[in-house]
Chain A
């Protein structure tokens, strides 16, 4: 039985460090996830997200630091360390010569406790009812992700740990996944998910931890992150780009430059962009296209992780350019 007080964090990592030979995969990582939230673990490839999630599952042992699930270390919890925890690390993998249902039956057998009676419910909830008798070797990546979610939910978890859960899913699947996770969180489930997609995290997470080269470079709520975020990046197509750049020079809070592939790249907050578009109209420049290229949180993510490549604009934009 897991004894959890309402205030106790579900996940706690304190100064967790992990080396693989000369490589520092995790460097004094701190992480706290309170109950009932969706927490995003963000970072580019190789940032240490999967290593941290693997450590939570007990697949790798930290060289330094302490991990607690539901307030207990692994030593304190013993074989019950993962009670109440479901999820997967990297792409969920199954026995290809078994059907989706047979795979869940094997895992339910490992879980015990009547999990077998939940197989059909889980497989239907994952949207795999029509593929339940199909061998997993024929499943697409998105179907395996769904089966992975069903396998995780078979454990009736209080904590769901998901590593890049939207990988391989079609847009409808991603939309459903977001909604499902939000709904589960509303019902009290705690979700810890990793992603390198800031936009995806922005939609479903309450709080985030950003990892870069194994170190935490940001931790906090999305509202805090938004407050620290720079201006978003827009892509504009106009009837007269030169005139549009000139118009931006006379507006505060708007930076515009020509894009290599045609059109303009504009750095501006939403209200300043509105003012800019109105000004273009007054100047007789028609707008043929407007698209959000990089959200503010994506911009912040790129800054935090040292990624110089928000799509589109050149590295430095000046009002004169």
Chain B
């Protein structure tokens, strides 16, 4: 078949109201693209088998990670294991994993030169921004839900004995499983804050290395900063602080103040990064070297 001989599609007017769901159309297509990314598929596989590997490693070795919350109980209760994984991994691994998608979702269009392609398809910048941002958030939520489920299942598979809480109280398996799930999900707000941060870096820099690497570097810096004696308000303003809010769930009696503060902190980071991202994206010149 040649270009000349081709039966090209002929004009048809768009149906009325077709554009109303523009952001959702973009959102759906972004999820499709994300699902085809090799790094996302790799993450999904690791997210499923990783917790079981962690259980196997912790059960095999005789020493316990005693300097980590719940670390000394990993041989006594399987439900202590997901809490060790959460305490060690969430502040480090979570931001890195969400940055792989969120830090690339805008800048990848720059890298591939595809902004011009998608902006010539009757979709507004607002729709594209909303669809992409929503897809990045969905990925972060899906990742957190996946890790919650797989870590919990791996922990339960390792043993359903009661676990010792941070107040020294013994927590039976049923309530402990609920607290594990709640603890994992309490890390979702700061993770969404990191997602917004990664999106902002992706939009501003137009560079995937900055978009993905930036949140990782910031995570490292914040970890160092938390070691410094900061005023309480400054500590509470750090996006990494809410990752520790679950400690209150396991105290005796339980307290939720840090979690609520964490919600405010994460929301502030989320809104600021989101607004800055949109303002920068809306004004960008695309398609012509200036």
Task: Please name all residues of chain A whose beta carbon is closer than 8 Å to the beta carbon of B251 when the two chains form the complex.
Answer: none
B6 within 8 A of A: yes
Among A76-103, those with CB < 8 Å from B are 79-98, 102
- B10, chain A: closest CB distance, angstroms: 6
User: Is the CB–CB distance between B117 and A151 below 8 Å?
Assistant: yes
User: Is the CB–CB distance between A88 and B117 below 8 Å?
Assistant: yes
Mask of B1-33 contacts with A, CB within 8 angstroms, 1/0: 111111111111111101100100110110011
Q: Assess A79 versus B37: contact at CB under 8 Å? Given A84-B11, A127-B2, A176-B4.
A: no
A300 within 8 A of B: no
User: Is the CB–CB distance between A157 and B288 below 8 Å?
Assistant: no
Q: Is the interface of B mostly helix, strand, loop or mixed?
A: loop
User: Is the CB–CB distance between A59 and B287 below 8 Å?
Assistant: yes
User: Is the CB–CB distance between B116 and A89 below 8 Å?
Assistant: yes
Mask of B93-136 contacts with A, CB within 8 angstroms, 1/0: 00000000000000000001110111111111000000000000
Task: Please name all residues of chain B whose beta carbon is closer than 8 Å to the beta carbon of A51 when the two chains form the complex.
Answer: 288
Task: Please name all residues of chain B whose beta carbon is closer than 8 Å to the beta carbon of A59 when the two chains form the complex.
Answer: 116, 119-120, 285-288
Q: Assess A110 versus B121: contact at CB under 8 Å? Given A25-B288, A50-B288.
A: yes
Task: Please name all residues of chain B whose beta carbon is closer than 8 Å to the beta carbon of A112 when the two chains form the complex.
Answer: 14, 18-19, 25
- Give Cα A179–Cα B3 distance, bound, in whole angstroms: 8
Cross-interface CB contact of B10 among A1, A50, A187, cutoff 8 Å? A187
Write the chain B residue with the least CB distance to A54: B287
- A43, chain B: closest CB distance, angstroms: 14
Task: Please name all residues of chain B whose beta carbon is closer than 8 Å to the beta carbon of A110 when the two chains form the complex.
Answer: 25-26, 29, 118, 121-123
Chain A interface residue count, CB cutoff 8 Å, equals 70
**Stretch in A118-126, A208-216, A277-285 with 4+ CB within 8 Å of B:** A118-126
Task: Please name all residues of chain B whose beta carbon is closer than 8 Å to the beta carbon of A58 when the two chains form the complex.
Answer: 119
User: Is the CB–CB distance between B119 and A57 below 8 Å?
Assistant: yes
User: Is the CB–CB distance between B120 and A157 below 8 Å?
Assistant: no
Task: Please name all residues of chain B whose beta carbon is closer than 8 Å to the beta carbon of A25 when the two chains form the complex.
Answer: 288
User: Is the CB–CB distance between A1 and B13 below 8 Å?
Assistant: yes
A106 within 8 A of B: yes
Task: Please name all residues of chain B whose beta carbon is closer than 8 Å to the beta carbon of A109 when the two chains form the complex.
Answer: 25, 28-29, 32
- B122, chain A: closest CB distance, angstroms: 5
- Give Cα A153–Cα B12 distance, bound, in whole angstroms: 11
A21 within 8 A of B: yes
A155 within 8 A of B: yes
Mask of B209-228 contacts with A, CB within 8 angstroms, 1/0: 00000000000000000000
Q: List 27 A-B contacts (CB under 8 A).
A: A2-B13, A25-B288, A58-B119, A59-B116, A79-B19, A80-B19, A80-B122, A82-B122, A84-B13, A89-B288, A93-B113, A95-B33, A95-B112, A97-B38, A98-B33, A106-B33, A107-B117, A109-B32, A110-B26, A111-B121, A124-B6, A129-B1, A153-B9, A155-B122, A156-B10, A158-B11, A176-B3
Given contacts A86-B120, A149-B3, A153-B9, 8 further A-B contacts (CB under 8 A): A60-B287, A82-B122, A91-B113, A94-B112, A121-B8, A155-B122, A156-B10, A176-B2
Chain A residues near B (Cβ < 8 Å) = 1-2, 20-21, 23, 25, 50-51, 54, 57-60, 79-98, 102, 106-107, 109-114, 118, 121-122, 124-127, 129, 146, 149, 151, 153-158, 172-173, 175-177, 179-180, 183-184, 187, 189
